[in-house]
């Protein structure tokens, strides 16, 4: 029996992001470098979240605030992109 195809959530996010911010005729090198930066940022955020939610400790108010701050920052950046300010 074939293994089910595993959903790639970050790839889905990249595709959505790229459709919103990349010019359709952007050069391949720009697309490649932006994709690399996107994934590097995602990895950094994931690492920070994993650190905050390590199983040996309960999330603190500070941990939760860091996550909220990240969410706020990412939302603000997305808004700035849509408004042409980033």
DSSP characters over 6-50: PP-HHHHHHHHHHHHHS-TT--HHHHHHHHHHHHHHHHHHHHHHH
Q: How far apart are CA 60 and CA 52, in angstroms?
A: 8
Q: What is the pLDDT of residue 34?
A: 93
CB atoms within 10 A of CB 35: 15
* pLDDT band at residue 22 using 50, 70 and 90 as cut-offs: very high
The model's pTM is 0.64
Among 6-15, 24-33, 40-49, 59-68, where is mean pLDDT lowest? 59-68
Q: For the segment 30-54, what is each residue's pLDDT rounded down to a tens digit?
A: 999 999 999 889 888 888 777 777 6
The yes-or-no verdict on residue 86 having pLDDT over 80 is no
- More confident site: 30 or 78: 30
Cβ–Cβ contacts within 10 Å for residue 66, how many? 16
Task: Tell me the C-alpha distance between 64 and 52, whole Å.
Answer: 8
């Amino acid at each position: 029996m074939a293994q089910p195809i595993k959903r790639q959530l970050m790839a889905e996010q990249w595709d959505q992001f790229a459709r919103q911010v990349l010019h359709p005729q952007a050069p391949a090198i720009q697309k490649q470098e932006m994709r690399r930066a996107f994934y590097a940022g995602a990895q950094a955020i994931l690492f920070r979240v994993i650190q905050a939610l390590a199983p040996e400790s309960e999330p603190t108010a500070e941990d939760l605030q860091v996550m909220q701050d990240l969410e706020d920052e990412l939302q603000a950046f997305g808004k700035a992109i849509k408004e042409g300010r980033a």
